[in-house]
C-alpha cells in the first residue's frame, strides 16, 4: 500500500547499507524530509 505524507521540514533517520536504503532516502526526500543517513557496514561474501 502506498501512502502519501507531507514530511516537509521533518527530520528522518534512515539506517542500513547504502544499497538497501537508497529507495527509502529518495522517497523521504521527495516528501520534503531532511534525511540523515547512518550507514551500516556491508557484509562480506
Per-residue pLDDT of the chain (45 residues), as tens digits, is 567 788 999 999 999 988 889 999 999 999 999 999 998 776 666
What's the length of the chain? 45
Provide the pLDDT for residue 40. Answer: 78
* Torsion of Cα atoms, 35 then 38 then 44 then 45, to 10°: -20
| pLDDT for residue 2 | 64
Q: Can you give the pLDDT at residue 4?
A: 79
pLDDT value of residue 34 = 97
Give residue 3's domain range. 1-10+17-45
Rounded distance between C-alpha atoms, residue 16 and residue 42, angstroms: 9
Domain count across the chain? 1
Residues in contact with 31: Cβ distance below 8 Å, sequence separation at least 6, in sequence order = 4, 5, 6, 7, 8
Amino acid at each position: 500500500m502506498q501512502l502519501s505524507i507531507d514530511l516537509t521540514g521533518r527530520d528522518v533517520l534512515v539506517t542500513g547499507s547504502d544499497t538497501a536504503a537508497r529507495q527509502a532516502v529518495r522517497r523521504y526526500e521527495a516528501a520534503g524530509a531532511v534525511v540523515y543517513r547512518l550507514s551500516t557496514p556491508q557484509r562480506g561474501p
